[in-house]
Amino acid sequence: MAQIGIIGSGNVGANTAFFLAERNVCHVCMYDITEGLSTGKALDLMEAAPLRGYQYGLKGTDDIQQALDSQLLVVAAGEIRSPGQRREDLYEQNARILDEIAGRLVGYPGVIIVATDPVDPMTMRLVGNGFDRKRVIGLGGVLDSARLRVLIARELGASQEDVKATVIGRHSHDMIALPAYCSVAGVPVTKLVSEARFAELVEETRQAGDRIVELAQRTGSYYGPAAAATDVAEAVIRGTNRVLSVSTMLTGQYGIADVALSLPALIGAGGVERVLEPKLTDDELAQLAKSAASLTTHV
């Protein structure tokens, strides 16, 4: 029977477990370095099972080996941002945490979803620790795309379900929205929103994570990242080959290699089954190359 392991039972990890249970994806095992944290949260979640109709078990453990007995892992451990911090400011401390986790995952054969900030450098670091690039998936564009969908729907008064959006590049202020691949019920967004207004919506998307940190003060974004992790995890467990914009180590796409950036990809049982290369404008290509350069310079 399939199981998903979650490393880190803070807000992102616990809510990923919650969303997976709500969707009845598969069994879930939560692990955290803090003794009793995962067990307590899992107990709380399972007490909702009779009321919510959960079909699979959800457990917590202080033994990471139990979490490793899974087809897929979600790594959600690490420090979170404080007001005024950039994602990149977390790199040094979270890199140490990720390296420690990687040491305990040696030989793990399954797919690993990286939710720890900054996502793109953390994805690169995990691959650098010897894991198959196709089986390491960072949450980046899938979350940014969801945020842009919300704003487009709000702008037009449309159902979010009918809005599609594609965001690529770094999960940072350098994210790149692709208007040619954004639509509402199949109608290109460029036919519904002016270029200037779309640019404003994109800028609001860039600032979304910062805005949440500023308003909440004691916490960062976690419902959105947890929902993004659930979407990717479900695609892997069910082998659906969904097209999602995820951070993955590139191997020559658009002339870029050995850095992790978000691009649309087929997500299935093997992880990143195939990276897609939508046609980009010269400006979008330049932005993507700039993002890649910033990763090689600062990581």
pLDDT tens per residue across span 260-297 = 999 999 999 999 999 999 999 999 999 999 999 988 76
What pLDDT, on a 0 to 100 scale, did the predictor assign at position 85? 62
What pLDDT, on a 0 to 100 scale, did the predictor assign at position 79? 78
**The listed CATH number (3.40.50.2000, 3.40.50.1100, 3.90.110.10, 1.20.210.10) that belongs to domain 141-298:** 3.90.110.10
Q: Is the pLDDT at 81 greater than 70, yes or no?
A: no
Instruction: Determine which of 133-142, 213-222, 223-232 has the lowest per-residue pLDDT on average.
Output: 213-222
Tell me if residue 173 is catalytic.
no
Which structure tokens are listed for 131? Answer: 């894991």
Write the CA distances from 54 to 27, 31, 59, integer angstroms.
10, 20, 13
Same fold, 3-138 and 141-298: no
| CATH class of residue range 3-138 | alpha beta
Beta strands at 257-268 and 242-251: parallel, antiparallel or unpaired:
antiparallel
Q: Where are the domains of the chain?
A: 3-138, 141-298
Sign of CA dihedral 247, 249, 253, 258: positive
Rg of the chain taking only CA atoms, in angstroms: 18
Beta strands at 136-138 and 163-164: parallel, antiparallel or unpaired:
unpaired
What pLDDT, on a 0 to 100 scale, did the predictor assign at position 209? 74
Residue 49 CA to residue 42 CA, distance in Å, equals 11
CA 79 from centre of chain: 16
Please pick, among 27, 171, 173, 298, the residue that the annotation labels catalytic.
Answer: 171
